[in-house]
Structure 1
Amino acid sequence: MLRNFLKNNNLAKAIYFRVAFILNHEFRLSDLKNIFWYFENYFKIKKTFNSNFITFKFFPCLNDKTSLTPMDPVYFFQDTWMARKIFELKPKYHFDVGSSAKTIGILSQFVPITMVDIRPLPLELPNLNFIKGSILDLPFEDNSIDSISSLCVVEHIGLGRYGDPIDSLGSEKSILELKRVLSIGGVILFSVPVDSSNTVYFNAHRAFTRDYILSLFHDFELLEEKYQYGYELIDNFVPERGFGTGLFMFKKLM
């Protein structure tokens, strides 16, 4: 139906391919309504065009008319949780491995931070230092870091998603390396997906049970835990709720 409409209407065909190209995604029939909305507003603004602006260019933004502010609850909850904990702990210096660069950049304006990632950071900020490195071989001495974080990173290691080698024990090896560099009495802020059973969602990520995470940190003290399920952040792991995100603060004992 849409194909026949475009075939017989040159203007509509031009609009279709122009907007599809700009959006750079697979075009959906539901987008057609937004195209008509776009040009309806275009003709309205042309009637009252501000003459102080001498150039007018097309830049369609067709999918922003949402009823709620778009938000990824995983990153919203875990990043704000980490920010609160860092402000409470007040470390003199903080290290991060692979977490959201945007969040780490913001936090670095309050606490000096060194960020480690396999992918170089193309931007620079005061108080933000970057080191290219792998979570499987961190460029730090044993027991040398007092405050470290790694949010939603460990679950990806060894699944090849980011071009890394396949390793069925990638998550476990990553945790051992984070534990190695943390000083005695030091604190780690850590998050991974949780589920009712240890599960591999190949090649996106793994999910873990609470018991398994605690077993991997058996020699650490659990200071705080939170769990994100949908648009809620709660204090308890609820296996019946299925997939979620666990947020953990651990202290190294020995």
Structure 2
Amino acid sequence: MGLLKKFAKAVGWDLAVIKNYHHLPAFRRQRAEWLRQGGKITRKFMILGDYEDSAGTAKGHYFHQDLLVAGFVHASNPERHVDVGSRIDGFVAHVASFRPIEVFDVRPLPPTAHKNIVFRQADLMGECVTEITDSLSCLHTIEHFGLGRYGDPIDVDGHLKGIANLVAMVKKGGTLYISFPIGRNDEVHFNAHRVFHPTSILSYDVVRNSLALQRFDYVDDAGDLHLDVDLATNVPSVRYGCGIYTFRKQG
């Protein structure tokens, strides 16, 4: 146990308070001013870390992909939008704020009062209904297929079966938005996720024969977004980034 942790335990303070102890004089001045103005304090809840914190975090895989693809869906205004496994409190919530979205996931979802979210529990490595939508998203999900992490069966080809089913679900002329971790090589970090070389998906038979890449965006190792990159001439060199692909199904 580090010295800070030992000291925090000894005095009964939260570790965050110890780390930001230099802000304690400001806290005391503000508390004194509050009391001078006649304010009541029902419970002392000392938070010192926010004095020098930023307004929030506007970077990273999920922040960029969820906001970017939700914007794409809004702009294209499809007849029907279906999602497979994307983050409920991120991308799905973004889209549900302006239109209905149907969500498929191998895991259950508790009932929600938000009528724009329609949920169906399903294993997308198995059989699927073909050509059901003109717009489909699958964000930061396909890398988990077949690893058992979320209760799905072990299948070394789970990502390939999943991608084939995603393609099958899209109508001809429809759009598939898919994202996943990208790196310098194809890797399996069992049982967390797979990492793909940025161009690997383009070599899969079902993708090569059925889809046309419309645009490629990616998040780099620092969490910053790169928009509309020409993947044919500018393959990202990242250790653990996020590739965001927009495909059109040919027909």
Q: Is TM more than 0.5 here?
A: yes
SS at 1:241 equivalent: coil
In the TM superposition, what are the counterparts of 1:126-205 in structure 2 within 5 Å?
126-137=115-126, 141-205=129-193
Q: CA deviation at 1:120?
A: 0.8
Match in the other structure for 2:246: 249
Match in the other structure for 1:76: 63
Match of 2:108 among 115, 119, 122: 119
Distance 2:67 2:216 in 1: 14
CA displacement, residues 72-108 of structure 1 (integer Å, 9 cap, x when unaligned)? 4211221122022112211122111111212312312
Q: Which amino acid aligns with 1:88?
A: A
Q: CA deviation at 1:239?
A: 4.2
Residue 204 to residue 56, structure 1, CA distance change in 2 (3 Å): same
CA displacement, residues 14-64 of structure 1 (integer Å, 9 cap, x when unaligned)? 3x2xx3xxxxxxx5xx75132563586156325523656x56224454544
Tell whether the 8 Å contact from 2:212 to 2:249 is kept in structure 1 after alignment.
Answer: yes
SS at 1:86 equivalent: helix
- Alignment of 1:221 with 2:212, yes or no, is yes
Percent of pairs with identical residues:
30
Residue 206 to residue 38, structure 1, CA distance change in 2 (3 Å): farther
Distance 2:168 2:79 in 1: 20
Tell whether the 8 Å contact from 2:84 to 2:104 is kept in structure 1 after alignment.
Answer: yes
Q: Which amino acid aligns with 1:100?
A: R
Superposition TM-score, scaled by structure 2 size: 0.80
Residue 132 to residue 47, structure 1, CA distance change in 2 (3 Å): same
Match in the other structure for 2:226: 233
Distance 2:48 2:145 in 1: 36
Aligned residue pairs total 236
Q: CA deviation at 1:68?
A: 6.3
Match of 1:13 among 3, 11, 30: 11
**Structure 1: gaps spanning 5 or more residues:** 20-26
Distance 1:108 1:66 in 2: 30
CA displacement, residues 163-209 of structure 1 (integer Å, 9 cap, x when unaligned)? 33322212111111111221122211111111121112222211112
Match in the other structure for 2:20: 34
Match in the other structure for 1:22: none
SS at 2:20 equivalent: helix
**Structure 2: gaps spanning 5 or more residues:** none
Superposition TM-score, scaled by structure 1 size: 0.79
RMSD: 2.8
Match in the other structure for 2:34: 48
- Alignment of 1:97 with 2:97, yes or no, is no
SS at 2:199 equivalent: helix
Tell whether the 8 Å contact from 1:93 to 1:147 is kept in structure 2 after alignment.
Answer: yes
Distance 1:246 1:4 in 2: 42
